Amino acid sequence: MPPAAPPASIDFMNATASARIVVLGGGFAGLESAFLLRSRLGQRADITLVSDRDTFLFKPNTIYIPFGAKPERLLIPLAKPTAKRGIRFLQGRFEALDPVARKVRVEGWDVPYDYLVVATGSGMRPEEIPGLAERASTIWTPGEMTALGQRLRDVVADAKAGARPRLLFAVPPNNKCAGPLYEMVLMTETWLRRQGVRDQVEIEWTTFENTYIQAFGPKLHEVVLEEFRKRGIDGRTAWRLSRVEDGEAHYESGARKAFDLLVAFPPYVAAVRYDGLAADDRGFLTTDPASRRVIGEDRVFAPGDAGDFPVKQAFLAFLQADVVAETIAAEVAGLEPVAAFDPVSMCVMEEFDRATFAQVPLRVTGDPLRPVEVRPGEEDAYKVGVSPMWRLGKKMLGVYLPMRFRSGLPFHDGAPWAAMDVGLRGMAGVFARR
């Protein structure tokens, strides 16, 4: 069924604009692309943002929901910021793409484009691991995080009643961003200590990765190794989860782990599949590494999780979206594009009593068992630090980014970002010395 309130102009075109740009997806990459395109092109572009939801979710902070944060505080209605920037917002489900005619179908409406930005992100496929969906607490949606919070409170109640609950955290194969589960296990350990029951709860960890947080290199591995040692977390690498039965996780090696609560981050797949566009076996669109242009398409780009970069992470999504916006803006203006995606990730891993910062220059390897590595020869740019002060850095980002998006402004642009960048680099110089 078409939307009840169709757009004012069915041809989706501002008469004064020279380019029609459609952005599919209202997440990090989609909003960054749309807002930066407006900043670069002004009224030379007619921009339409399409999303199946009417809000943006600040997903990195969903890690706080199990411990009492309110999910609604992480939502930003999309109608207001898009209206502020003269961006048409169309809420509806994507149905089809015709790259030859250059139009997308959204709940019965054909939306034409000159440039298309596909930023519909990733989804979870827990059914790849038999029993995972039915027997594990997974972390992805606010609802799942809320349910996990109740189960953790049950663990505390059981421990206070004299039981010895067994918590197992597991990263199965084909997960593309294990960082949030590392945050979850470390935050849970701190929280259990504060609840006075840590000594009554066993915490174990397994991951298919060959090292902890494998994508971000040996320094992060050493940090996690030390944190697990200090906190009494029994960790295992290269353990590939194969199936889950009642109270027991099974691994490809034949090993088993008993649990009372299993917390897992499922395998990733593309949230939307696009017939006719080049994609890998998980539906992620195959792109040119520098521009994020979809292979075989002059006018279609895929920044962020919808594309084939092996690591799915918000900061990397921003960098890709910036390159896409700069490339499209240059082409619309008749200039030679000069931007290129440089995958230098930044992340702050929450632990409740401290946090870990990492700046990691990455290189794609082409090896499916180790798809990215720290760029050789760039040790000076590879920084890791652990400090309570990094919790302040995470809170700063948690305020700054929603503030920008509520105003319809891109994350990486203008004086506010320059000031934020200086602050983060200053902190890195003091608190990231590894």
Distance of alpha carbon 344 from alpha carbon 428, whole angstroms: 14
Q: pLDDT at position 393, please? A: 87
Q: Summarize the confidence of residues 375-388 as an average pLDDT.
A: 93
Please give the structure tokens belonging to residue 425: 């680099």
Give the separation between CA 168 and CA 204, rounded to whole angstroms: 5
The 8 Å CB, 24+ separation contacts for 228-231 are: 231/186, 231/189, 231/203
Q: pLDDT tens digit string along 85-123? A: 999 999 999 999 999 999 999 999 999 999 999 999 999
Give the fold, CATH level 3, of 19-121+271-346+375-431: FAD/NAD(P)-binding domain (3.50.50)
| pLDDT higher than threshold 70 for residue 191 | yes
Q: What is the pLDDT of residue 10?
A: 38
**Measured distance CA(39)–CA(33) in Å, rounded:** 10
> Which pTM does this prediction carry?
0.93
Which tokens in the block code for residue 393?
């850095």
Domain boundaries, the chain: 19-121+271-346+375-431, 126-267
User: At residue 428, does pLDDT exceed 80?
Assistant: no
pLDDT digits (tens, 9 = 90+) for 289-322: 999 999 999 999 999 999 999 999 999 999 999 9
Burial per residue of 333-357, b for 16 or more beta-carbon CB atoms within 10 angstroms, e otherwise: eeeebebebebbbbbbbbbbebbbb
Identify the H or E element spanning 145.
helix 142-160
Cα 357 vs. chain centroid, distance in angstroms? 17
Percent of the chain with pLDDT over 90: 89
How sure is the predictor about 421, in pLDDT bands with cuts at 50, 70 and 90? low
Instruction: Determine what percent of the chain falls in helix, strand and coil, rounding each to the nearest 5.
Output: 35, 25, 35
pLDDT grade for 217, boundaries at 50, 70 and 90: very high
Percent of the chain with pLDDT over 70: 91
Phi/psi of residue 186, nearest 5 degrees? -70, -40
- Which of 293, 384, 410 has its CA nearest to residue 35? 410
pLDDT digits (tens, 9 = 90+) for 346-381: 999 999 999 999 999 999 999 999 999 999 999 889
Non-local (6+) Cβ contacts of 17 within 8 A are: 43, 44, 45, 46
Q: Give domain 126-267's CATH architecture.
A: 3-Layer(bba) Sandwich (3.50)
- Give per-residue pLDDT as tens, 271-282: 999 999 999 999
pLDDT band at 285 (very low <50, low <70, confident <90, very high): very high
Which structure tokens are listed for 101?
A: 């005619």
CA end-to-end span of the chain = 56
Examine domains 19-121+271-346+375-431 and 126-267 and report if their fold is the same.
yes
